[in-house]
Amino acid sequence: MDNCKLSKAFNRLKKSSSDSIDNTEKFDSFKDYMHVVRAAESDLKNILRSVNDSGKKTLVLLCGSAGDGKSHLLSYLKNADEEHLIKDYKIFNDATESSAPSKTAIETLNELLNAFKDDNLEKPGQNVILAINLGVLSNFVESDYRAEYSLLRKYVDETNILTTQVNMNDYDEKSHFQHVSFSDYHMYSLTENGVHAGYIEDIFSKVFSYNPDNIFYMAYSETCAECPLSKKCPVKMNYEFLCSESRRKYIANLLVETIIKDKTILTTREILNFIYNIVVAQDFSYTKFQSLQSDETSYLREFMRQITPSLLFDSMDVTTLMNTLSLYDPLLARSEAADEEAISYYVSADVTNEIIDSFLDSPYKQVLCEAGMVNRINLDRTLKSAVFNLMVREKAVDNKSKDDEIYSGYLKDLYFYNSGFGKKLGNLYGMIEKAVTQWCGSDEDGNLCLDNKHGGFSVYESVQFEPNLNLIPEQAGENELQRFIPSIIASFDGSHDDVINLDIDYALYDLLYRLNKGYIQTADDRNNHADFISFVERVLQTGNLNKQVTIVMPNGKKTTISSGQFGYKFRVV
């Protein structure tokens, strides 16, 4: 039987825990303590206050995706909110709930929203707040009932609820419909200096703060000290390791990085489950660690496998998120300095000083720096290698920041774009122009290559890139953006008064950057970036192909062919 009370407390964070399920009828002290205010909540409360003051019958839509916190927020508003803003509302926590299980989600919605059909909209009635997934909402407004809900459908269309556009969902006093969509918000905010993972950090703080209402801290402080395994327990030391605010900040920013670079879908439920996974190993057993006390070598191997720096990057096949994080393992970062450090460590017969220096400010030092353990590490190659991996990983976590020029550049340009600072995007537009040139190939005059597949002959045309900044969002007037488009739309003038758009996510930004450094694209790049290929083709159509082309022959000679009022002119350059 597992007697570790701290690990049992952490079980409440697992996806499989009953605490991960929210309903409007129950909101216990644990959920109340774990509640973190988000921008979506603040905006919803402002809308509810306006609705309540208006006296107008209103349907409030709380939209989003599974697991993003809609149910939790509704439960909080009903049971714990001191303002009691939804006290007199009909509350539907799940648009698919029905007293008749045989009914479809669309049929259920039709019943729930009867008072908000076009014909009933102006009739007196009770306010309704409805938590609904975007997919269900989309299906409903396009269903067979759509004619009866034309005004609701018009509202959904006009407010861009179902699009990727950021909509400023302020209270609309003329409408019977209001909404807040979680998809408009992110797990992080955007500043000129990078991201701020405030919400994720706040969740971590709830678990690891020294607070008498914190059940995790109480389990740690009241039971761990008396536990026979206390001085050798990985779970206890993992908790202590993450009590450091700077370490939590590093991990929170790492999660944001996976969202931006890998398009990881991260929900509150996923974050809580992740915290469990980096504190308690999947196979942690109090009984097993007790039995290993008589075999220090086996204990040390198991201990190092189950501490946070290892769990963070070595937990393959635990969750999709953990698989993604393995790609960010500091051990994968190569540099001359890192190679020299590794060589020095591995050729040394005694790494006592290196170990003590590395874990000086770490809770793991009470195990790894103990004289007997250090001696075993010096004598065992496997242990020595495992300790070096821990040293590299913990150093990365403690140093907090990474030098990633591409990532930093993308975040800065993303902020400028969403803030409406089009004039500050000159470097980005220049990077796009140079990337297209590198992708197509060019001659010494800067003409772009149209074709080079015919017996050594190459055809070039001159292309003028004309940036179009008219579609850049209006200036937000905020230093920190809570709502924004997570990609950059770069626009250029086309050849027929049209606009050529390029949607730049991080992966494409990374490719553009590397092309600027002389990178030659591969077949994988062409397969993965069909959108960029389409953009290049449209840009080439804006060139002067109809007026003049340059042909480079196999022997290197160049000929220009130009059209004029009296036919074509040929000139050997």
User: Residue 466 has what DSSP assignment?
Assistant: -
Tokens of 504: 């730049």
pLDDT in tens, the chain (573 residues): 357 889 999 999 998 877 766 666 778 889 999 999 999 999 999 999 999 999 999 999 999 887 788 888 999 999 999 999 999 999 988 655 555 667 788 888 998 999 999 999 999 999 999 999 999 999 999 999 999 999 999 999 999 898 877 776 788 999 999 999 988 889 999 999 999 999 999 999 999 999 989 999 999 998 888 888 888 999 999 999 999 999 999 999 999 999 999 999 898 889 999 999 999 999 998 888 888 888 889 999 999 999 999 999 999 899 999 999 999 999 998 889 889 999 999 999 999 999 999 999 999 999 999 999 999 999 999 999 999 999 999 999 998 656 789 999 999 999 999 999 999 999 999 999 999 999 988 887 788 777 777 666 777 788 888 999 998 988 777 889 988 999 999 999 988 779 999 999 999 999 999 999 999 999 999 999 999 999 999 988 887 665 666 666 666 677 666 666 555 666 666
Rounded CA-CA distance 497/493 in Å is 7
Q: φ and ψ at 194, to 5 degrees?
A: 125, -160
Cβ proximity of 107 and 139 under 8 Å:
no
* Full DSSP string of 450-491: EEEEETTEEEEE-----B--TTSPPP---SSEEE--SSEEEE
Rounded CA-CA distance 390/383 in Å is 11
Three-state DSSP at 493 gives: strand
Cβ proximity of 165 and 4 under 8 Å:
no
Q: What is the pTM of this model?
A: 0.90
User: Residue 18 has what DSSP assignment?
Assistant: G
Give the closest residue to 268 by CA, choosing from 40, 28, 43, 72.
Answer: 72
Tokens of 15: 């996806």
Rounded to whole angstroms, what are the CA distances from 524 to 217, 511, 529? 49, 11, 8
